[in-house]
Chain A
C-alpha cells in the first residue's frame, strides 16, 4: 500500500485551508454542494418556482466555489488512485462483504440510506467533517467543536451497534 502518513496529509490539508482563506476568503467545506445540486435537479424537474424555497434563497442552486471544490475532490482522488495503481471498481467494501455477504444491493441500499441521513444531518448541523470538523474547529468556532464532538459520539455509538451486533 502506497499510503502517506496521516500527519503529512493532515499538514497538507492544513496548508490548503490557508490557501482557501488567503486566495478565496473562504473556508473549505463540502456539504452545501449537495444542497445546491439538489436545488439544481429540482429546478430542472419542476421549474423556476423552486427558487422561491426559503432554503434555496440562502443556498442558491448554482455552481459556486465549493461545488467546484467537490468536483475537484473526485478528480484528485481519481488521479491519486490511478497513479498508485489502487483504482478499482468495487460495489461493496471488504469489511462489509465479510460481515454482511458479497451481494451488491444491500450495501448500495445501506449507503443510500446512510447518505440521505447524512445529507439531512450535514445541512441540519450546517457543515460536515470538513466544514465543521476541520475548517470550523481550526477557527475555534463553538458551533464546530460542538458539532464535531456530536459527529463522533453519534458515529462511535452507531458503529458499535452495527458491528457489535453483526460481528
Chain B
C-alpha cells in the first residue's frame, strides 16, 4: 500500500503540493512569516519561532521514531561535515538576519503580500543557489573538511535511538516550560 503510494510520481507531486499548502497555512497563521517576528527572535525579544520549531521537533521526533520502530518509515539524515554545517550554517545565519526570513517563511511571506520577500528574498535565493552551483567544484575542498557523513546522535553514542529521543524531548519541553515562565 505505502509502496504503491510512494512510487506514483503524479500522486507524489500532489502530496508535496498539499503538504506545502498546509505548511504555508500554518506558518502564516503563527505569525512566523513576518519580518518583525523573525528579527524579534534573533534579537531574543520574541520567541515565537523557537516555540514553533521546538514543538515541531518534539512532535515530529517522537512520531517519526515510533513509526520507524514499527518498521513503517526510514530515516533520511543529511550527510554533513564541519565545512558544510558550520561554515554554511554561519553564512545562512548572517543572511537570516539581513533578509529577516528563511527560505520557507520567505515564500510564505510572498504569499501574504510581502514584496520584499518576493522580489528581494525569493529572487535573491535563486541567484544565490545558482552562484553556489557554479562554485561547487571549487568549494569541494572546504565542503569535505571534517566530514562525518550521515551520522545521527544515537549512532554517535552507539545507543538505541530512544535513549536519545526521550531525554531530548524532555529537555525541549523543559526549555519551553522555562521560556513561558520567564515571559515574552
Contacts and interface: CB of A to CB of B under 8 A. Distances in A.
Interface of A: 1-7, 9-28, 30-31, 34-35, 37-39, 41-42, 53-56, 59, 63-81, 84, 86-96, 104, 107-163
Given A53-B133, A111-B124, A137 B42 contact: no
Contact of A123 (B24, B43, B53, B133): B133
A40 to B, nearest CB: 9
A117 B95 CA distance: 5
A124 B17 contact: no
B17 A68 contact: yes
A10 B27 CA distance: 9
B127 interface: yes
Contact of B5 (A23, A75, A76, A151): A23
A141 B30 CA distance: 26
| Contact residues of B: prevailing secondary structure | helix
Interface of B: 2, 5-6, 12-36, 39, 42-44, 48-49, 51-61, 63-64, 67, 72-82, 84-117, 119-134, 136-137, 139, 143, 148, 150-154, 156, 161, 164-165, 168, 176
A11 B82 CA distance: 31
A77 B109 contact: yes
Contacts of A114: 95-100, 120-121, 124
The 8 A-B residue pairs with the shortest CB-CB distance, nearest first, are A154-B93, A72-B20, A115-B124, A119-B128, A143-B80, A111-B120, A150-B89, A14-B59
A111 to B, nearest CB: 3
Residue among B44, B54, B60, B152 with most chain A CB within 10 A: B60
B73 A21 contact: yes
B92 A3 contact: no
Given A72-B20, A118-B102, A6 B93 contact: no
A8 B125 CA distance: 29
8 contacts: A7-B55, A14-B55, A73-B108, A114-B100, A118-B92, A118-B103, A140-B152, A141-B80
A122 B98 contact: no
Nearest to A119: B128
Contacts of B57: 10, 14, 134, 137-138
A94 B35 CA distance: 9
A9 B150 contact: no
Given A131-B78, A156-B43, A157-B94, 8 more contacts: A38-B130, A69-B19, A73-B20, A77-B25, A79-B25, A95-B39, A123-B133, A138-B60
B62 to A, nearest CB: 8
A32 B152 CA distance: 22
Contacts of B54: 10
Given A6-B51, A16-B19, A134-B56, A121 B112 contact: no
Nearest to B14: A68
Nearest to B24: A76
B64 to A, nearest CB: 6
B94 A154 contact: yes
A153 B93 contact: yes
A54 B108 contact: no
